[in-house]
Structure 1
Amino acid sequence: MKLLEQLKDEMKNAMRAKEKIKLGAIRMAISAIKQAEIDNNIAPDDAAVIAVLTKMVKQRKESIAMYTEGGRDELAANEAAEVAALEAFLPAPLTNAEIQEMISATITEVGASSMADMGKVMAVLKPAMQGKADLGAVSGKVRAALNA
């Protein structure tokens, strides 16, 4: 089953169960996916849905940090519940060992030897790791591997 269909089915289940926070998060996700579909003029495939969900999770995690810092624990708890609802649709995150292994294999595959080749390495890693790892952290690890 496609990811968008799973989202719609889970939205119906959340409505029936009267789970307001989960329902709101899923509705926002579907809305963001439709907006991306209109903006990019393409039908949303699973990769596009994962990209939207990953972006939404990242935004909410940043909001949690800001709310916690500002002493707004009830808002941080709502954001955390939304993150949990959205992360259920993302693929399982990669471990550090798996990330390092993929980076090493990609560097060898592309024949990268310096920082000038970082774009080539990231171009291969990004689609493979989308939604499974923080690409900012992966970029830092690739940079460290190429400088070593």
Structure 2
Amino acid sequence: MSQTQPLRQRFTDGLKSSMKAGDSARTSTIRMIIAKMKELDIAARPRGVEQVGDDDLVGMLRGMVKSRAEASALYIQGGRGELAAKEDAEIVVIEEFLPTPMDAAALEAAVDTAIAATGAASVKDMGKVMGALKAAHGAALDLGRANGLVKEKLSNG
């Protein structure tokens, strides 16, 4: 699947191919993604938005990965390996739709650029830096990783 297509199209194409292949686990996970996407669309309608954009969908996907990773860890603690394996398999499918994350060096360079561009001097300026990063890198940016790095640099700087 091409990462240049809009996510909605990639979800639809992925669903069709998994159904043709008879991959019921993958089909189920993609249907779950599409249902969550429709929930986001419905929630955005009062704001006058018919369909949320790819940035919102990437955030949704990252949230889905995070919740499944947490559930998997709890299942492992509870001795329920088969349920953890199901969660892990869903994570693999969901991550296929996420943009390729920035490597550590690229993230550090982006953070340094944003700090310089905003003139940030302390942790109080974190919001400005995060805003600049989000504007410049959008969906490719993992806000969780960026947040920690920005905080570290502004604390030490």
TM-score (norm 2): 0.87
Which residue identity is paired with 1:39?
A: A
CA offset digits 1:62-93 (Å, max 9, x no partner): 11111111111111111111111111111111
In the TM superposition, residue 31 of structure 1 has moved relative to its aligned partner by 0.7
State the percentage of identical aligned residues. 36
State the match for 1:71 in structure 2.
79
Instruction: Name the count of aligned residue pairs.
Output: 147
Note if 1:143 corresponds to 2:151: yes
- 1:120 corresponds to which of 95, 119, 128: 128
- 1:95 corresponds to which of 103, 114, 139: 103
Which residue identity is paired with 2:34?
A: I
CA offset digits 1:99-133 (Å, max 9, x no partner): 11111110001110111110111112235254642
Secondary structure of the residue aligned to 1:33 is: helix
Note if 1:83 corresponds to 2:91: yes
In the TM superposition, residue 45 of structure 1 has moved relative to its aligned partner by 2.0
Structure 1 moving runs of 4+ over 3 Å: 129-132
Q: Output the aligned Cα RMSD.
A: 1.5
Which residue identity is paired with 1:114?
A: S
Q: Distance in 2 between matches of 1:92 and 1:10?
A: 17
State the match for 2:19 in structure 1.
15
Q: Distance in 1 between matches of 2:16 and 2:22?
A: 10
Relative contact order higher in (CA < 8 Å, ≥ 6 apart): 1
- 1:31 corresponds to which of 26, 29, 35: 35
Q: 1:110, 1:121 within 8 Å by CA — same for their partners in 2?
A: yes
- 1:60 corresponds to which of 68, 74, 86: 68
Q: Distance in 1 between matches of 2:140 and 2:61?
A: 8
Unaligned runs of at least 5 residues, structure 1: none
Q: 1:51, 1:131 within 8 Å by CA — same for their partners in 2?
A: no
Q: 2:75, 2:84 within 8 Å by CA — same for their partners in 1?
A: yes
Secondary structure of the residue aligned to 2:120 is: coil
Unaligned runs of at least 5 residues, structure 2: none
